[in-house]
Chain A
Amino acid sequence: MKRLLKWIGGVLAVLALVAFGVLCYMAGSPKDAYGMVRYALPHMHSGTLKVGSDAPDARLVALDGVNHFHIRERIGARPLVLVFGSFT
């Protein structure tokens, strides 16, 4: 029984090391791997929208910081390309 537990523990440790290695490779460094796990993964969601779904609406703030408008107000006679992103 002890031997089995040792094996399981060993395998889990190797798997954890491999996962950490892959994460470091993807992120660029151990520090970035931590950043990815701590700050990125909790906010990344594939979502449930599909092609053909009704486009959800949301209220946005204009660049002047005062006025607001809705995404749906921009839907009209032409397709609307939505580009989501941030500065960093």
Chain B
Amino acid sequence: MGDIVEIYNDYKEKADFLTVYVREAHPTDEWQMKSNVKDDVCYAQPKTLEQRVAIAKDFTSRYKFPLPFGIDDMSNAADSVYSAWPERLYIIDETGHLAYRGGMGPFHYKPAEVRDWLAAKYGAVKHEAPVAVAPASSATASASPSATGASAPSGQAPGGSTK
């Protein structure tokens, strides 16, 4: 799931991005997942727009989420027209037509397909393979971003905490 932020960073000069926050997938008063408790992502399903906005703000600030952000209203209008719940990806071309229609999440939510679409249009962005860290002293290991978890928030995307 964290791939979306990476894709955004790779292609934000070429394409526009918009995150649409829809109704919660695993709130505490419905189908809560153990992973949500572990990650301290525990919210009841919002009953008011204010509650939905508060959760969205918490999300964007907690993870410093960089993508432009919009919130579906309490009539779930965006979710309805895009069949978006619980998570889904689309690409709209410059003429206002759907150029890519992702499958229903979580099983068919595939950011790699968005990357492939953008790569086909604008060229692939290569990332260096992670360098294997040789066993070293604990002080060295704890100083690396991955060991401290510093890289995790930047890779977080809506719905990513449970997937």
- The chain A residues found within 8 Å of chain B, CB to CB, are 32, 35-36, 38-40, 43-63, 65, 69, 71-72, 74-88
Contact = CB atoms under 8 A, between A and B. Distances in A.
Interface in B145-163: 157-162
Interface in B71-90: 71-73, 77-90
Interface residues of B, number: 78
Contacts of A75: 92, 94, 96
Interface in B31-49: 31-33, 36, 41-43, 49
B88 A88 contact: no
Nearest to A82: B90
* B interface majority secondary structure: mixed
* A interface majority secondary structure: loop
B162 A83 contact: no
B43 A88 contact: yes
Contacts of A48: 83
A84 B82 contact: yes
A58 to B, nearest CB: 4
Contacts, number: 213
B82 A83 contact: no
A56 to B, nearest CB: 4
29 contacts: A36-B31, A38-B30, A40-B25, A44-B85, A44-B86, A46-B83, A49-B82, A49-B101, A51-B98, A58-B82, A59-B73, A60-B72, A61-B49, A61-B53, A71-B70, A72-B96, A75-B96, A78-B15, A78-B94, A80-B16, A82-B20, A82-B90, A83-B18, A83-B19, A86-B25, A87-B21, A87-B55, A88-B25, A88-B41
Given A76-B16, A86-B22, 18 more contacts: A32-B33, A38-B30, A54-B96, A56-B82, A58-B80, A61-B49, A61-B53, A63-B69, A80-B16, A81-B90, A82-B20, A82-B92, A83-B89, A84-B158, A85-B159, A86-B24, A87-B55, A87-B159
Contacts of A72: 96
Nearest to B163: A85
Contact of A65 (B50, B68, B85): B50
A44 B7 CA distance: 26
